[in-house]
Amino acid sequence: MRKIVVFDPSQVTDNLGDFIIMDAVNSALYEIFPDDYLLHVPTHDCPGKGGLEQIAKSPLSFVGGTNMLTSHWLWYRQWKLRLQDVFKVKNAVLCGVGWHKYQSVPDFATAFILRSMLSKKHLHSVRDRYTEKHLHAIGIKNVVYTGCPTMWSLTPEHCSKLPTHKAKIAVMTVTEYLKNIEVDRQWMDTVLKNYEQVYFWSQMFEDLEYAKSQVGDKVKVIAPTLAAFNEFLATTDCDYVGNRLHGGIRALQHGRRTLILEVDNRAAEIGRDTGLQTLPRADIAGIDQWINNPRPVSIKMPFEQIQQWKRQFA
C-alpha cells in the first residue's frame, strides 16, 4: 500500500462546486488505486509542515480538477503554494485541470514553475483544449484532453435518457462574484415567466443574497448544501438553468435537462469541446428558445483518452 497525495480544492473552500469536482476525481482515483491510501492536501490554502512532509514522501501526487492553472503564477494562483514550497512538489499529475480565465501565453516564471512541479513521465489530464494549448506553449507536451472528470459519467447511454421537453419546475443558480446586474435580471425573469415554479440553490454563500436582490421572493430556496441539492435533483422533475457550471453538471448527472449560462471561459470552452448545452447569459432570446423548444442532448466525451490516462497507472 502506498500513500498518494491528492491536491484537493474541496478543502478550505466556500464553493460547493469544488465538492462536485472532487466527487468525480476521487471516484476515478479510487478506481485506479483501490489498494492505496489517498491523503488530501488543500489547494485553497498553503500546506503546513505536516502537509509538506507528506508531499515529500509521496511517490506520486494528483491535482484535482478546477481552473487551477494560470499564466502569471507570481501574481495570482488558485493552487496555493509558497514560492519556497514549489520545488518540494515533484511528479504532480493533473486530473481534469483547467485554466483560469482567458489569459496570455504563460510567462517565463510560470513556465519554469509548472515544468518543475508537473510529472515528466506521466500524461496529464486537462478538461479543455484551451488548457492543452497553454501547456503545449510552454513545452509540456505530455498532455491528454479528457474533459472534466465530472462529465466522465455522461456516456451516450446516459445522455440518450435525458429529457428534451420543458419541465414545469426549474432550478436556477447565479455567480455573485461575476455578476452582471442588468443581464442577470433579464435571464432570471425569462426563467420565471416560463416555469410554474422556480427554485434557487446557492453554490456559494453570497449567491442567495444577490439572487434575491434580482427576483425578490419569487423563488423557493433549496438549502445551501450539496446533500439538499442532490435530494432535490433526485426527486424533482425539473430543468436546470443557471451560470454555475458544476451545479449544471450535477443536474445532468441526475438526468435533468440542463442549460448552463456562460460567465467566463469555463462553460464556453467545455461547451465548445463537448457539445454541453451552454449559451452566453446575455442571449435572452436563445435562452427562451432553449426552454420552449425540444433539443436532443449530444455530449461527446473523449472516452478513449480518458481510458488512456487511467491505464498508464495500471
Domain-wise residue ranges, the chain: 3-152+303-311, 156-292
Q: Are 271 and 278 contacting, i.e. CB atoms less than 8 angstroms apart?
A: yes
Tell me which of 13-22, 58-67, 174-183 is least confident. Answer: 58-67
CA 68, 94, 14, 48 dihedral sign is negative
- pLDDT confidence bin for 46, thresholds 50/70/90: very high
> b/e per residue, 112-134, with b = 16+ CB within 10 A?
ebbeebbbeebbbbbbbebbbeb
> pLDDT tens digits for 259-292?
999 999 999 999 999 999 999 999 999 999 999 9
**For residue 226, what pLDDT is reported?**
97
**264: its cell numbers:** 467566463
CB contact burial 189-224 (16+ within 10 A = b; e otherwise):
ebbbebbeebbbbbbbeebbebbeebbeeebeebeb
* Of residues 122, 123, 40, 51, the one with CA closest to residue 89: 51
pTM: 0.95
Please check the confidence at residue 61 and state whether its pLDDT lies above 90: yes
The answer to whether 202 and 194 have CB atoms below 8 angstroms apart is: no
Q: Cα separation of 193 and 185, whole Å? A: 12
| pLDDT at residue 294, rounded to an integer | 83
pLDDT digits (tens, 9 = 90+) for 165-196: 999 999 999 999 999 999 999 999 999 999 99
Mean per-residue pLDDT of the chain: 95
Say yes or no: do domains 3-152+303-311 and 156-292 share a fold.
Answer: yes
Asked whether the predicted pLDDT for residue 156 surpasses 90, the reply is yes
**Who has greater pLDDT, 314 or 301?**
301
pLDDT of 90 > 90? The answer is: no
| Residue 1: band (very low, low, confident or very high) from pLDDT cuts 50, 70, 90 | confident
Per-residue confidence (pLDDT) for residue 17, from 0 to 100: 97
- With cell 506521466, the residue in question is 122
Pair 21, 149: CB distance under 8 Å:
yes
Ramachandran quadrant class, 34 (left: phi over 0; alpha: psi -120 to 50; beta: rest): alpha
d(CA 110, CA 88): 16
Give the pLDDT band of residue 20 (cuts 50, 70, 90): very high
How confident is the model at residue 195, as a pLDDT?
98
Q: Tell which CATH classification among 1.10.3720.10, 3.40.50.2000, 3.40.50.2300, 3.90.1010.10 matches the domain 156-292.
A: 3.40.50.2000
**d(Cα 55, Cα 47) in Å, to the nearest integer?**
9
CA distance 223 to 306: 34
Q: Which residues pair with 305 in a beta bridge?
A: none
Q: Does the pLDDT of residue 87 top 90, yes or no?
A: no
**Residue type for 22, please?**
M
Segment 231-256 shows an average pLDDT of 98
Containing H/E element for 283? none
Question: Looking at domain 3-152+303-311, which CATH architecture does it have?
Answer: 3-Layer(aba) Sandwich (3.40)
